[in-house]
Every structure is written in structure tokens, then in C-alpha cells.
């Protein structure tokens, strides 16, 4: 899954565009991930009057890349309604293109977006498969390398008469002003089947300079076509060196902890000696008699001790 920003730079000189090019050239492996899904905010295929063609410049810049590398599904939001297209590319139905979903129908105080554009005018009707201006949820299940099951479930309609914050939860609800052909449908189930490699080789295309991401390399695609992050001599060597590096780090931490503990004990001993000396100085200054007595005691000890030792 690839996430893009509809409102960041998207022309071929921008960072986002260069990053996308390099990612598609190095990280798409159809053997490991046969389905390629891209998501961004602003829909590039939309038949609702709301936000109509706002993503047109983004589409013209990004869509050729998505088609070249066979993106299967595009997920978008922004429009407060639900719409599903057929496989599409360059505003025309194309079996080798992607299926585009508008899923901005999770609920919003602004209400559902109506009306819809007339599909009998222009070419929109050729690629728009299902649309409804209601609130709902969708589920996507990957069944195999060639099939995905998708279903959209309506859970409420927009209603000016409802006391539930403008939402009508009845099974027969209809959003006021919704002119979609299937507005009474409760769900939109569909199966997305990948065409054969012979029919659409782009839908099975892997990166020409494929680089598998590994935990030991911590490398990500850079803008210049290289890899950013720490460099390694190889995945196998990195794995073999990992236990050694871990042991060395542990031993280093143990030695450092021992040194810190020894220094701490030394500081505590010095502090204790200093405290004792300070107390003695305080006693001498406050009670000279006690100081004299203490001094005499010390002299007596120094005199008596040799006599006792000599046995006299």
C-alpha cells in the first residue's frame, strides 16, 4: 500500500514525485504482494458536483505512473458520498487500469454531498459503476492473487427531518436530492479480478531494480535513486554479526556500570570524611573546653599505649 498527499507537490520535479518513481522502481514485488493499492485524499474520478475535477492536475501528473506499474486499486475520500468506478485510465474504461473508490462517506456534519452529475452528458457514465450520497462503511478482502471481494454497506442517509444529527438509519431511507440510479440499495458488493498477464502485463509488473527491505538494513528509497540509511555488506552477514555486536554492547554497558558504581562509592567516602572534619571543627569553635578535653584524651592515649605494649 502506498500513501500519497494530494496537496503536496506532485509534478515531476517535486520530492513526492521523485520518491514515488524510485519506490515503484525498487519496492514492488508481485510475487510477495500481487496487489498494489494506492491511497490519497482528493479523488481523481468523481461524478459528484462536490469537488468535481479538483484533482485533475494531480491525476494528469500521477496517473501515468500508477498505470505503468499496474496499480490495482485507488482509495480516496474528500467527497461526502460513495462511488466506485470500473477499471479506468485517462478518463476511459480500460481493463488494465485501476478501480477507483471514493470513500468520503464516513459521516460529516456538513451532510452527504448532492447532487450528482448527469451521466448521460460527457464520458463519465462510461466508467462510473455505482454511486450513492449516503453514509456507510466498506470492507475489502483479498481472497487470492487474482481476486478481491469488496462491499460497501450503507448505514445512514442524510435527512433534514431526522433528530439523529441529520441522519436517517431506517432500511428504506433515501438521501434528499440523491439522484443516483441505485439509491435504494443497501450494499454494493463486487469482485475485482486481476486480468491475465498476457492481457495486462502492467498489472503483474514488479520493480526493475527490486530491493527487498530488511530489518537489518534500515534502508528506504531516496530521491536520487539510491538507498538512504545505514549501509550493510549483505543481509546474511548482518544477521551473523548481530549476536556478536549484541554481546559487545552488553559487556560495554557492564563495564561502564562498574566504573560508575566505583566512582559513586569513592565520592560517598570522601563526603563522609569531609563531614566528620566539619563536625570536629564546629565542636572546637563552639566548645573550646570539649576540644581541649578531646585533645588531652588523644595525648593520653598516645602516651599510655607504648607503656602497655612494653609490659611496664
Q: What is the pLDDT of residue 113?
A: 82
Please give the pLDDT value at position 279: 47
Q: Please give the backbone phi and psi of residue 102, each rounded to the nearest 5 degrees, phi first.
A: -105, 115
Query: In angstroms, what CA-CA distances link 195 with 1, 200, 201?
Result: 20, 6, 9
Q: How far apart are CA 211 and CA 193, in angstroms?
A: 27
Q: Is the pLDDT of residue 34 over 90?
A: yes
Tell me, yes or no, whether 100 and 194 share the same domain: yes
- Do 248 and 290 belong to one domain? yes
Rounded to a whole number, what is the largest CA-CA distance in the chain? 131
What pLDDT sits at residue 192? 94
What's the total number of domains in the chain? 2
Q: What are phi and psi of 106, to 5 degrees?
A: -70, -15
253 and 272 fall within a common domain: yes
80 is catalytic: no
State whether 262 and 135 are in the same domain: no
Contact criterion met (CB below 8 Å) for 134 and 105: yes
Residue 196 and residue 244 in one domain: no
Work out the pLDDT band at 87, boundaries 50, 70, 90.
very high
Q: What pLDDT is recorded for position 274? A: 54
Last residue of a domain, one of 191, 212, 228: 228
Instruction: Say if residue 208's pLDDT is above 60.
Output: yes
Which domain does 58 fall in, by range? 2-228
Same domain for 255 and 201, yes or no, is no
Catalytic member of 15, 41, 51, 212: 51
**CATH number, domain at 138?**
3.60.21.10
Q: What is the pLDDT of residue 210?
A: 85
pLDDT of residue 241: 57
Q: Is residue 227 very low, low, confident or very high in pLDDT (cuts 50, 70, 90)?
A: low
pLDDT of residue 307: 36
pLDDT digits (tens, 9 = 90+) for 36-85: 999 998 999 999 988 888 889 899 999 999 999 999 999 999 899 999 99
Boundary of a domain, candidates 202, 228, 254: 228
Q: Do 188 and 244 fall into the same domain?
A: no
Say yes or no: 139 and 9 in one domain.
yes
Clarify whether residues 172 and 78 are in a common domain: yes
Mean pLDDT of 240-257: 71
Cβ density class 19-31: b for 16+ within 10 Å, e for less: bbbbbbbbbbebe
Tell me phi and psi for residue 207, to 5 degrees: -60, 135
Q: What is the pLDDT of residues 270-298, one digit of tens each?
A: 655 555 554 455 555 555 555 454 444 44
* Shared domain check, 177 and 69: yes
At residue 20, the pLDDT reads 95
- Please check whether residues 7 and 73 belong to one and the same domain: yes
Domain limit, last residue, from 228, 257, 276: 228
Residues facing residue 37 across a β-bridge:
73
Judge whether residue 17 has pLDDT over 90.
yes
The per-residue pLDDT for range 148-175, each reduced to its tens digit, is: 999 999 888 888 776 777 788 887 888 8
Residues 205 and 239 in one domain: no
Amino acid at each position: 500500500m502506498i500513501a500519497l498527499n494530494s496537496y503536496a507537490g506532485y509534478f515531476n520535479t517535486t520530492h513526492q514525485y521523485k520518491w514515488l518513481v524510485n519506490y515503484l522502481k525498487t519496492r514492488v514485488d508481485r510475487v510477495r504482494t500481487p496487489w498494489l493499492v494506492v491511497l490519497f485524499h482528493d479523488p481523481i474520478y468523481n461524478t459528484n458536483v462536490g469537488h468535481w475535477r479538483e484533482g485533475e492536475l494531480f491525476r494528469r501528473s500521477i496517473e501515468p505512473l500508477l498505470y505503468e506499474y499496474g496499480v490495482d486499486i485507488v482509495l480516496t475520500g474528500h467527497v461526502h458520498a460513495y462511488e466506485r468506478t470500473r477499471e479506468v485510465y485517462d478518463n476511459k474504461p480500460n481493463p488494465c487500469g485501476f478501480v477507483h473508490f471514493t470513500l468520503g462517506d464516513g459521516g460529516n456534519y456538513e451532510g452527504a454531498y448532492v447532487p450528482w452529475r448527469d451521466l448521460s452528458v460527457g464520458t463519465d457514465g462510461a466508467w462510473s459503476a455505482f454511486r450513492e450520497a449516503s453514509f456507510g462503511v466498506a470492507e475489502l478482502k483479498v481472497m487470492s492473487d487474482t481476486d478481491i471481494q469488496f462491499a460497501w454497506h450503507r448505514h445512514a442517509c442524510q435527512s433534514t427531518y431526522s433528530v439523529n444529527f441529520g441522519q436517517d438509519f431506517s432500511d428504506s431511507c433515501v438521501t434528499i436530492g440523491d439522484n443516483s440510479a441505485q439509491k435504494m440499495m443497501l450494499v454494493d458488493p463486487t469482485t475485482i479480478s486481476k486480468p491475465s498477464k498476457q492481457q495486462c502485463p502492467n498489472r503483474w509488473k514488479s520493480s526493475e531494480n527490486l530491493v527487498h527491505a530488511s530489518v537489518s538494513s534500515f534502508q528506504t528509497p531516496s530521491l536520487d535513486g539510491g538507498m538512504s540509511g545505514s549501509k550493510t555488506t549483505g543481509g546474511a552477514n548482518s544477521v551473523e554479526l548481530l549476536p556478536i555486536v549484541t554481546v559487545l554492547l552488553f559487556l560495554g554497558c557492564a563495564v561502564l556500570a562498574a566504573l560508575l558504581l566505583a566512582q559513586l562509592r569513592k565520592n560517598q567516602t570522601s563526603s563522609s570524611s569531609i563531614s566528620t572534619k566539619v563536625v570536629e571543627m564546629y565542636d572546637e569553635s563552639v566548645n573550646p573546653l570539649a576540644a581541649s578535653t578531646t585533645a588531652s584524651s588523644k595525648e593520653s592515649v598516645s602516651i599510655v599505649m607504648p607503656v602497655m605494649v612494653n609490659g611496664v
